[in-house]
Amino acid sequence: MLINFFVAVFWCAVVAAYDVHDKDEKFDLFPALPVGIVDTDNVLCREHSRMYVEHLKNLSLWAYEMRDSTAKSVIGILTGNIAQFGQFKECLQSLSPFPTQYCISTITADIPEPTQPSRNPKSLLYSPNESVLRKLHDKKDPSQQPKNIVLMGWCMPASCTANGLQRYLNRYLNTIDFPLKHMNVTYSSYIDESSCQKQDDNKDFDQVEISFGLVCVIIVALVIMSTTYDCFRNYSNEKLVERSPMASLLLTFSLKKNIKKLPQSDDSNPALTILYGMRVICILMIIMDHRFGTHLASAVLDFDFVELQYRSPVGSIFFHGDVFVDSFFILSGLLVTYCLLVQYDKRFINPGVIVFMRYIR
């Protein structure tokens, strides 16, 4: 019986020691975001943060909605997943007693140059026994995702300004005890005013969006009016009016007239028809590269796969958008030059007018 007692006491001591050790040691590569701001000159922000923390302790639903929508820790950073967004919608829909805001905080880890033997910075292969800091170190390689920068969603009271959040977060990152700090790793944060959105933000269109919408409406109206005039002209059998400048201007945006010209090509020189196919290929490749670029602008969870594609034989061809753009410009310049030479055989045209009209087009 006495032996069982000592065994039980020993086991409890081991478990307690393990628990304390596990609580004291942190293995995350980036610190977690603080819950609220406790040190700021903004009295309202400090009061709302205190209320937020107190209601977290009381298990209030609205407080946990704010906490649940905040990115807790960085996951998948070694595969290039720098986007730790949390839940944007949950933050702004929280039924808190004060307005909330969702901010994207950019946290950068300043990692010293690794002292281990040098390696090829373009290589994606790492030894399993290498230090993780070598992979996190910024290699200044555009084909690799920087793994020392993360974007973390932070749900906070709307009374806190972006500058106030940034100042407090930088002080927080400089004062907390974090294991990687013993490796001379420092952290800094940046929060821009435009990276924060509040519950009561104005959702109206800005001047750029209104201008773009107005241009679209004008173009659609011109197409409708021009197509209607073209249909009415054919119905009334007006042939002579077509020669007038006003009629030609009205028919410029006619959908009925221009739809017939889309599949047509210039057959004046059959030797140039091969260039049309090359232009189509270049255009398709340019569109694909732009589509790939928009994909990379989103939150990519596994960027290692993208980096492997950059180095594949097919990717080295497909992802060189500059080659297809230059080829397209060369082909366009060749066709323009050919058309100008044909026109110069008939009559002289002022080159300045040609350049101006090309620019307008």
Query: At which residue do the structure tokens 């399993």 appear?
Result: 128
The pTM for the full model equals 0.69
For the chain, state the CA radius of gyration.
Answer: 32
Residue 242 makes CB contacts below 8 A (sequence gap 6+) with 233, 248, 251
The b-or-e profile of 231-267 (16+ CB within 10 A means b, else e) is eebeeeeeeeeeeeeeeeebbebbeeeeeeeeeeeee
Collapsed DSSP state (helix, strand, coil) of residue 287? helix
CB 37 within 8 A of CB 49: yes
pLDDT tens for the chain, 361 residues long, are 544 444 343 334 333 333 333 444 467 888 888 887 777 788 899 899 999 999 999 999 999 999 999 998 888 888 888 889 989 999 999 989 999 999 999 999 998 887 766 777 778 888 888 888 888 887 788 778 888 899 999 999 999 999 999 999 999 988 888 878 788 888 999 999 889 998 777 667 778 889 999 999 999 999 998 888 888 776 665 554 555 677 777 788 888 888 887 777 666 677 777 787 888 888 888 888 888 888 877 777 788 888 888 788 887 778 778 888 888 888 888 877 887 787 777 777 777 877 787 788 7
What distance in Å separates the CA atoms of residue 169 and residue 36, rounded to the nearest whole number? 10
Residue 26: predicted pLDDT: 66
CB 247 within 8 A of CB 241: yes
Q: How far from 4 is each of 7, 18, 272, CA to CA, in Å?
A: 5, 21, 95
The string of DSSP codes covering 247-260 is: HHHHTTT-HHHHTT
Residue 106: predicted pLDDT: 93
How many Å separate Cα 240 from the centre of its chain?
55
What distance in Å separates the CA atoms of residue 212 and residue 177, rounded to the nearest whole number? 51
- The neighbouring-strand residues paired with 110 are 186
